[in-house]
Structure 1
């Protein structure tokens, strides 16, 4: 009897739940979409890319070199290299040894002198940048510089071995003649390996010098020798970015002025580029990476070339004579600032000058006769205080005296509010600054609450570059931050506010861009990768949906005459794309309940169909990963009936509506 009663009670409860669900009403919001021109243009630079060499983003990431410390230039020159005995894996000094020769007259000052006692046991091994990623069926170019000093070494034998020491590819290179010569060979791996090693052995006995031991996939972006990793650039290309900001970030400033980024040192021949320790090698106690260096194989010429490939405006940021204020805060005296200012003037000439100018000629000789047509330059990264303003004035005067059409990016410091932020904005307004860079790393709640941030900005003041932002799931500089759906959703809500205020905000970019799964220092990040593959985060897809659908002209969407900026958990912006003849609406629902919108278009002629793109996930803590990307945009086509646009907006979602 108890069992029957229990079954009846359960069935009754289920019936109540069913009828309750059936009778549940979804609230409908009635929105007005006014196609009348606001006379506000969406700038082509509205959504762009911020690149900084953090998290192994350059060496070990975008720059496709697979050998760590290829020219023995690290402070500890054998970093990444081992001389193992085949049995004990300890240095095998009985079979041979390596010493480092230093020539301080050169920028690439070190090379290895290898003495081989016998040709059976001596091995030189490189571990790669968190391993060497190899794909079966692809080819890899090996190159090295070698000088035959003495003895009868007749061949260099190079092997690629997997994590267990199994041979997966081998090639032998015959050594001929004396003097420094460059040798080349090609590997064809027999299987795919994420963390292989390069192994070098010698045929014969004697002494040789070796330098610039390098390994690149042939399958690079646009097939360029010694180029960029194809899958990572493709993800950037798919964003359709309006600009590429480089090379950072705090890396521009350096911990000291000696460690600042100096662009002129990065445009010489690759083998002559002076290596430098990376600022982030010990930036955070939770992720110390003493082997993190910059080879500058990805230098300023390559950055400009990448921007051109992406169809993006190049936006270089230069040191203003202030080292990172979170580190040494070292300052150049005002009377010694001229070389820093000259670097900025020379860079503009390098980018835009014809081949008759000094730096335009250098660019032409590198291989790009046509100017890059650079329009923007940044003075300092995120400096603050009176020292920055004093130096900014000098840069601005010199740049605009010679290049009045160049737009200068200035900075408001590392925070979105507070004493330094207020001081910076006050002074930059006085100076009629053109574009002020704002940075904000904060909680998802902050982003949701600040979608109206720019509603209150002075329309007559400087424009805004939202140059670095990302929602932090745990807290700023916390290693446990995740690229979960909550962070992406809150950024989408905030971005509708950026778009609604396109008369003030003209440039925006998420940061940081890249992170190596085994080599990261900072989280969260837009794109994650390992040695073999990469995946896009939910945050990436938010950026892509906005950037791919930025439109050309801002129009108004409202509820009861008010913009949607968080009331009832709804956020929205709308644009016209005059080139594609589309109206595009972006709506964010940050509620846990599904809602419905009925949009009444005014002063707009619409087709009878709309494209609906939805980005959402069942759980706010959900993430994408290397195994699968579950949080991706999903597209469908709906019919517009009687001129009314009726659309369901799922809980916790970003919805993009496109109407011809």
Structure 2
């Protein structure tokens, strides 16, 4: 026999057998074999004011340093004018009488017309302006006698006016007065500036110089950026974890997050420096502060708006252990514990309670229905366990129904994790918060991480996860498809083990294109635009296809977790009476699977297939191509109780089929 002909024939035969083997491989879903219930909170979002996520991000204020409280009082502002002279602008400090907001600006005007004396504000890396949109300007002022008129305007880089308004303060005396004016923009510009011109003779004191777009979420005055909230609402998240993250801890305890300082009138909330302003040498941000216009009341309100459970995290008497490691002595911990007790009352107490009345007076008489509370963010060591024990005793004594989320440290393994995981389980912790910033390979190989966890022990919160394309905290990390598909595979293991894993969220959530410190991030924004990364669409697909009960899904009578590069999980949704199957093909070749659904009397003749796929693992989304990698839905034929699936290379498929 011709050896070459034999070899070619053999190769062809093996190729045919391989194709036939692929076509004959079967996935069996048994809808009558429920293995766990899916918590309503299962897939949520984690918010932290990093990457200009709040000020300059979701908090829609357009003026930077509106109350002159940055460490350089005029940071963000530049004085200007043809008639400007020494002493026309003075920053005064009233620390003794207004400790939370001590500074204000005194203007001594002798301006005859616009252009003689004024100030310009640069915004947060510029100001996004939209043609036809209304802009609302407001200011707190005080003057002995009327006489100074304010001209407000938005300008482009050439100085061309994009929209303007005039405000004529009329109230005189020693009381601070609020006044506002609105105007409409005539052009769209990504990086505009704000001008404030003075006209007339006299002295006027100014504070809280503010400008908001008219398209805030739910059109709330002084509210949140609508498109950013909409991206969250579209996910239908089960929870919102806030306010972080390492900002809960602070570099040291003096700049820790204190929720009581973030509620009440906005002008009375005490600004502090953001702990991310100097953390990374590659992205210094000396102008990064927390004004707390987005405070705990607004976080609760946001959670309620998008139908998510609130999950606040509180400082446990420990500063960031990567920075100072400062701790409060155990004998001085009571005020921290009281803050936790008071927060529960603020969220759930009726109007007759002290903190319930504060919430009511802010405009929300109904409770926020808080059920979970985190004690400490990413703390570790015996010092954390000591403080946690005191918090737990006090909170459980007064509010036994509140589930407490406890930290397992910074990593999903190692000495820190082992100490905390073992100790917390002995303490019968409600929920243990595990974090994973690891390579895509780690996520693929750990999809079975929870298969052997104790079903009767403490539950897990996958509180921060994100595949790192280069290495942890590297500025060159990318939100590429390789990272996203590895996360999709890992999430099959979380879903399959919903009896252990109660919640999960990607981190960080937002990043401003010109103001970020950390990558990768789930959603990117600039002053006008927004896009979701492939990672966003992965978690969104899990959240929108959450179901109510986990059911058995097997291949060759085994859990499908990496064999032949296939990962799978399945749930049923008792509300819609559907079976939902998620399958990831993490390989570079197409694979065929015959899916057999058992347990249902009859399946609908047609289902739907939602596909997230790209053959280039380095592919990303961008402002220019926001939906480069995004879900595509198509009909799917069902024959009896069988479905034929062609799993494209590097793909995440979601199948929904009605059960009759």
TM score, norm. by length of structure 2: 0.94
1:611 paired to 2:608:
yes
Q: What residue number does 1:187 align with?
A: 183
CA distance in 2, matches of 1:24, 1:423: 48
CA contact (8 A) 1:526 1:536 kept: yes
Q: What residue number does 1:368 align with?
A: 364
Equivalent residue in structure 1 for 2:157, among 156, 159, 163: 163
1:471 paired to 2:467:
yes
1:159 Cα deviation from its structure 2 partner: 1.6
Q: What residue number does 1:113 align with?
A: 106
Q: 1:161 to 1:23 in 2, by over 3 A?
A: farther
Q: What residue number does 2:140 align with?
A: 145
1:175 Cα deviation from its structure 2 partner: 2.6
CA contact (8 A) 1:149 1:209 kept: no
Equivalent residue in structure 2 for 1:382, among 369, 378, 383: 378
Q: What residue number does 1:210 align with?
A: 206
Q: What residue number does 1:634 align with?
A: 632
Q: What residue number does 2:290 align with?
A: 294
Q: What residue number does 1:97 align with?
A: 88
1:23 Cα deviation from its structure 2 partner: 11
CA contact (8 A) 1:45 1:242 kept: yes
For residues 52-91 of structure 1, the aligned pairs below 5 Å read: 52-85=48-81
Q: 1:94 to 1:570 in 2, by over 3 A?
A: same
For residues 236-275 of structure 1, the aligned pairs below 5 Å read: 236-275=232-271
Q: Which contiguous aligned blocks of 4+ residues in structure 1 show a shift greater than 3 angstroms? A: 18-26, 117-120
Q: Which secondary structure state, in structure 2, belongs to the residue aligned with residue 335 of structure 1?
A: helix
CA distance in 2, matches of 1:363, 1:171: 35
1:533 Cα deviation from its structure 2 partner: 1.2
CA RMSD of aligned residues (A): 1.8
CA distance in 2, matches of 1:103, 1:467: 42
Q: Deviations over 1:476-512 (max 9, x none)?
A: 1100111111110000000001001111000100000
1:178 Cα deviation from its structure 2 partner: 1.4
CA distance in 1, matches of 2:650, 2:465: 21
CA contact (8 A) 2:598 2:641 kept: no
1:149 Cα deviation from its structure 2 partner: 4.1
Q: What residue number does 1:656 align with?
A: 654
Higher mean displacement: 497-506 or 18-27: 18-27
1:158 Cα deviation from its structure 2 partner: 1.2
Q: Which secondary structure state, in structure 1, belongs to the residue aligned with residue 476 of structure 2?
A: coil
Equivalent residue in structure 2 for 1:32, among 28, 35, 49: 28
CA distance in 2, matches of 1:25, 1:444: 28
Higher mean displacement: 617-626 or 120-129: 120-129
1:182 Cα deviation from its structure 2 partner: 1.6
For residues 334-483 of structure 1, the aligned pairs below 5 Å read: 334-483=330-479
Q: 1:19 to 1:82 in 2, by over 3 A?
A: farther
CA contact (8 A) 1:37 1:553 kept: no
Q: Deviations over 1:224-277 (max 9, x none)?
A: 110111000000001110001000000001111110100011112001100000
CA contact (8 A) 2:269 2:291 kept: yes
1:457 Cα deviation from its structure 2 partner: 1.4
1:322 paired to 2:321:
no
1:508 paired to 2:504:
yes
1:618 Cα deviation from its structure 2 partner: 2.4
1:130 paired to 2:120:
no
Aligned residues: 638
1:606 Cα deviation from its structure 2 partner: 1.2
CA contact (8 A) 1:131 1:531 kept: yes
TM score, norm. by length of structure 1: 0.94
- The answer for unaligned runs of 5 or more in structure 1 is 1-17, 87-91
- The answer for unaligned runs of 5 or more in structure 2 is 1-11
CA distance in 2, matches of 1:331, 1:272: 28
1:306 paired to 2:302:
yes
1:43 Cα deviation from its structure 2 partner: 0.5
1:37 Cα deviation from its structure 2 partner: 3.1
1:121 Cα deviation from its structure 2 partner: 2.3
Q: Which secondary structure state, in structure 1, belongs to the residue aligned with residue 502 of structure 2?
A: strand
1:279 Cα deviation from its structure 2 partner: 0.5
Q: Deviations over 1:446-496 (max 9, x none)?
A: 101110111121222210000001001111110011111111000000000
